[in-house]
Amino acid sequence: MNAGARADLRIAVVGVSSLIGAAVVEELRARKTAMTELHGLDDERNIGRTVTDERGGDSAGALAVSDVAAFDFSRVDLVFFCGRAALSERHAEAAAAHAWVIDGSAAFRARTDVPLVAADVNPSALDSISGAHGLIALPGSATVALVTALAPLHALAGLERVEVATYQAVSGSGRSAMDELAGETVAMLSGKKARGRAFGRQIAFNVIPQVDALEADGASREEHRLWAETRRVLDLPDLDLNATAVRVPVFFGHSLAVHVSFERPVSVADAARVLQCGTGISLIAADSVMEFPTPATLALQPDRVYVGRLRAHRTRDRALNFWVVADNVRKCAAHNAVSVAHILVNRPQ
């Protein structure tokens, strides 16, 4: 830490019982974040539970869950909101009157007065947060994966148009959705019928071309979020972007098929060079042993966004195609949240 860094942080994690909440706790400890207090908070349904640090063993770092509604946020310096948007809507702004609040839900992403930050892409957005309190929003996991790959390419040749199809893991909808996939898989392999509760239809051995509710224009909320969040994080308000968001029967790891047109000529070799130097990115070269990233392999190494299948577009000039994989819970959510916190803590005061 630099001379202006805080070494005595008091931290609260709201929604600590969620997949992302537990991952944030693990990330804080794995990165040895300097803290004197760590509070695990959640709504009334989860009070009394214990969150265990899986990286440390069965009982290492056990954290009891307390009631967020009864918590005094003036007791802490930094708060992560990791649960449902309704939880953030009820408590985040009040907490931000006392502490830095980093919100991972969709509650505040569309508010122009709240910075929207992907740590590897636009950390300068945090410049609007002065002093020791304020509200910061984080983009959705698919957006974080996308903008991390797009940012160095934009710097190289200027983005003109982006076409993206996302193949999103069920963990994006929480623990219950993962339980649903596991239960349906076992049931169907046993000759039984899938329940189809979490997504309104069977997810095991299936692909569902809808993530979140459909809007009046036929696009899903997730597709709208990808469009709006990508434009904001890259500071490209007029970027031409088209998205299709799909749910797939994978536990962890969002995958994206990306097709990009550029303002200036760009070669595959030049694109590979800037991606290899990009922040938070690993490029899997076509001639490597790995060949390309998949959710079941590289997404389990959660500190990077992985890019592969990089190639020229066959029918368009100044265009490239590539494939992206990233762990949606740990890299795109928890790692991003803790990285934003480290930037806040380590900047000169």
CA atoms of 103 and 126, how far apart (whole Å): 13
* 27: nearest Cα among 345, 347, 329: 329
pLDDT tens string, the chain, 349 residues long: the values are 333 455 689 999 999 999 999 999 999 999 998 899 999 999 888 777 787 765 444 445 688 899 999 999 999 999 999 989 999 999 999 999 999 999 999 999 999 999 999 999 999 999 988 888 999 999 999 999 999 999 999 999 999 999 999 999 999 999 999 999 999 999 999 999 888 888 989 999 999 999 999 999 999 999 999 999 999 999 999 999 999 999 999 999 999 999 999 999 999 999 999 999 999 999 998 777 777 899 998 766 668 999 999 999 888 889 999 999 999 999 999 999 999 999 998 887 6
- Residue 10 sits at φ, ψ, to 5 deg, of -110, 120
Q: What is the pTM of this model?
A: 0.93
Q: Which domains does the chain have, with CATH numbers?
A: 9-139+333-346 (3.40.50.720), 142-328 (3.30.360.10)
Query: For residue 87, which phi and psi values (nearest 5 degrees)?
Result: -65, -40
CA distance 185 to 194: 8
> DSSP code of 123?
G
Residue in the block written with tokens 């948007």: 85
Q: Which amino acid does the sequence have at 46? A: N
In the block, tokens 């122009």 appear at: 112
